[in-house]
Amino acid sequence: MLEHLWNGWRSAYVTGSADSRPVATPGASVFTQILESGLSDEDAHIVHRGSWCFVIMNAFPYTSGHLMVLPYREVAELEDLAPDERSELWATVTDAVATLKSAYRPEGVNVGVNLGQAAGGSVSRHLHVHVVPRWVGDANFMTTVANTRTLPEALAESAAKVRAHWRGPNLDADV
């Protein structure tokens, strides 16, 4: 199993009183649970909200700045998106790419969707698009030898950086 080298980003919430937390829809995806949690966008690491979709930091990122773009509604398949969701999803993915280019100046960006558990979708019931900034050599010996990913900034710091650079819809960012 791949380890992540950092302190828990949710410790205050995890150690808080369970009685004070809102109850999410039973059987809901982790994304729906986050949306129904009552947490602020800052505490939930949501960096952008649109009418049909939102953008959240990946809690277990491949690199700093790893975003996920997804509809509010739990939908498993691309073809099940309503036209407004589909249109906003892809426009927001484009804005997310431009935002990461502005915020991180990566050498490349991966954009990917894993549809279904067999395709690697860890939360396959709630479609999400990964947007990951990449640099030559960002998969170093720590991942290969120690099965650990090193991250140079905390998740809250990444979220603040992304929010500061977000200029959507359909960005006018200088990239």
Asked if residue 161 lies in contact with residue 48, where contact means CB atoms within 8 angstroms, the answer is no
Residue 63 region, left (φ>0) first, then alpha (ψ -120 to 50), else beta? beta
DSSP state of 166: -
Task: Read off the pLDDT of each residue in 147-170 and give the average, rounded to a whole number.
Answer: 78
Per-residue pLDDT of 8-29, as tens digits, reads: 444 444 444 444 444 556 788 8
pLDDT for the residue numbered 148: 54
pLDDT computed for residue 22 by the predictor: 47
**Model-level pTM?**
0.77
Average pLDDT estimate for 29-40: 91
Residues carrying an active site annotation: 128
The number of beta carbons lying within 10 Å of the beta carbon of residue 41 is: 14
Nearest to 100 by CA among 46, 43, 173: 173
* Residue 114 pLDDT grade (very low, low, confident, very high; cuts 50, 70, 90): confident
% pLDDT > 90, the chain = 51
What residue ranges do the domains of the chain occupy? 20-165
Mean pLDDT of 143-163: 73
Please state the rounded mean pLDDT for residues 113-125.
Answer: 77
Residue 120: pLDDT over 80: no
> What amino acid is encoded at 78 in this protein?
L
Query: Helix 155-165 vs helix 83-104: angle between axes, to the nearest 10 degrees?
Result: 100
Q: Class for domain 20-165, per CATH?
A: alpha beta
Q: Is the pLDDT of residue 124 over 60?
A: yes
Burial class (CB in 10 A: 0-12, 13-18, 19+), 28: middle
